A and B are shown apart, each in its own frame.
Chain A
Amino acid sequence: MTEIRIVQNVLKHNDEIAAMNRQRLRDAGVFCIDLIGSPGCGKTSLLEATLRRLHSRINIGIIAGDLATDRDAKRIQACGAKVVQINTGKGCHLDANQVRHALDEIDLAGLDLLIIENVGNLICPVGFDLGQDAKVGMFSVCEGDDKAAKHPHLVRVADLLLLNKTDLMKYVRFHPATFREDVEKLNPGVEMIELSATEPKIDRWLDWLLSKTQAAHDLTSADIPVPVGTTKELSDAR
């Protein structure tokens, strides 16, 4: 019997493709978010509200991952965004290769922000790097205040956490302090934004998006010398 030492990440192939995606997005100055949350927490509603508020100010593309149907894609399209739909069939998460193919269908040069709505699932999508700049974990008050503690993986890796449906706080048993305590233990200092996608009360989220998008844009314009006249301005984003 011979032992072959390997010591390599099992998802190496996925991570390599994710790195390629990340480079493509960075070269184009696009800020990219992987939005992860349970089914029904309000991901598509938040995208709709976000697009209504921002689509006249910045160019937003959406990749919508869903098990079946193009209903989310249609809802988002109606708000004026370029949408690429990925139907995962039985797959419970998106992987970097699916996103790579979706990127082929998008004119990245004409984009400022790309949001990937991952398949509704708090566990599977966490370990799969897609090439995003930020993983955003989304919860809603209806799911209960113990959900951060029960999904430490997502909370731990998230760059931003959203707590949605705060308009329903008065109808459900949800103690914001309990939720926040668990979050703070798992991911000290992580930013958390409370919002309501359908009211809509999403100003802090929009501010966060705009500042990150602007930063990604500035970084690229600083990195790559662009011939005069071709500089892509973030058209009156503020």
Chain B
Amino acid sequence: MHELSIARSLLGLVRDNVPDGALVKSVLVCVGPLQAIEPDAMQFAWHAATDDTEFDGAELSLTLLPWELHCLECGRNWSSENWSDPCTCGSCRVDPVGGDELTLISIDVDEANTIKEPAEGSHTVMRNPA
């Protein structure tokens, strides 16, 4: 469950970057396959981390990046869900490139609305279960 630590760090980073009083609608994060993040667990952790904070209800939008593979024989580059794919040239000498991304890309805020107290029971909807 490293998702919870990641959610807490994410919350801190969002807090550092949002103007006072702005209402956060959604948060976009890109995740490489090396981070071994389980989307459902990540959504759950984000919900737990933001519960009872000023970001309660902010949607977490996760983009899961595929493996980026590079063939050491023919030089072809492609993306795949599976790191152990052989190349179309028949070679199994395939090198996964990068993959350790864990990046907060952007935050959507509604600056017209200042934060209201969340209505009772309104915070249980889990949006965007990737």
Contact = CB atoms under 8 A, between A and B. Distances in A.
Interface of A: 1-14, 91-93, 95, 123-124, 126-128, 149, 152-153, 156-157, 182, 185-186, 188
Contact of A127 (B18, B34, B72, B83): B34
Contacts of A188: 72, 95
Contact of B6 (A1, A8, A10, A185): A10
Given A126-B34, A153-B34, 17 more contacts: A4-B17, A4-B18, A5-B106, A6-B17, A6-B106, A8-B104, A9-B103, A10-B104, A11-B6, A11-B102, A149-B84, A152-B34, A152-B96, A153-B35, A157-B34, A185-B83, A188-B95
B123 interface: no
A14 to B, nearest CB: 7
Interface string B98-109: 011011111111
Contact of A8 (B5, B25, B103): B103
B73 interface: no
Contacts of A11: 6, 9, 102
A4 B13 contact: no
B74 interface: no
26 contacts: A1-B108, A2-B22, A2-B110, A4-B18, A6-B17, A6-B105, A6-B106, A7-B105, A9-B102, A9-B103, A10-B103, A10-B104, A11-B6, A11-B102, A92-B1, A92-B2, A95-B5, A123-B36, A124-B5, A126-B34, A127-B2, A127-B100, A152-B33, A156-B96, A182-B84, A188-B72
Q: Which 10 residue pairs of A and B lie closest in terms of their CB atoms, listed nearest first?
A: A124-B2, A4-B107, A10-B102, A6-B104, A153-B34, A123-B36, A153-B36, A10-B10, A5-B106, A3-B106
Majority SS of interface residues in chain A?
mixed
A66 B83 CA distance: 31
Q: B1, B2, B35: which has the most chain A beta carbons within 10 Å?
A: B2
A152 to B, nearest CB: 5
Contact of A10 (B13, B25, B83): B13
B12 A128 contact: no
A188 B111 CA distance: 49
Interface in B76-116: 83-84, 92-96, 99-100, 102-111
A93 B94 CA distance: 30
A8 B28 CA distance: 11
Contacts of B5: 91, 93, 95, 124, 128
A7 B104 contact: yes
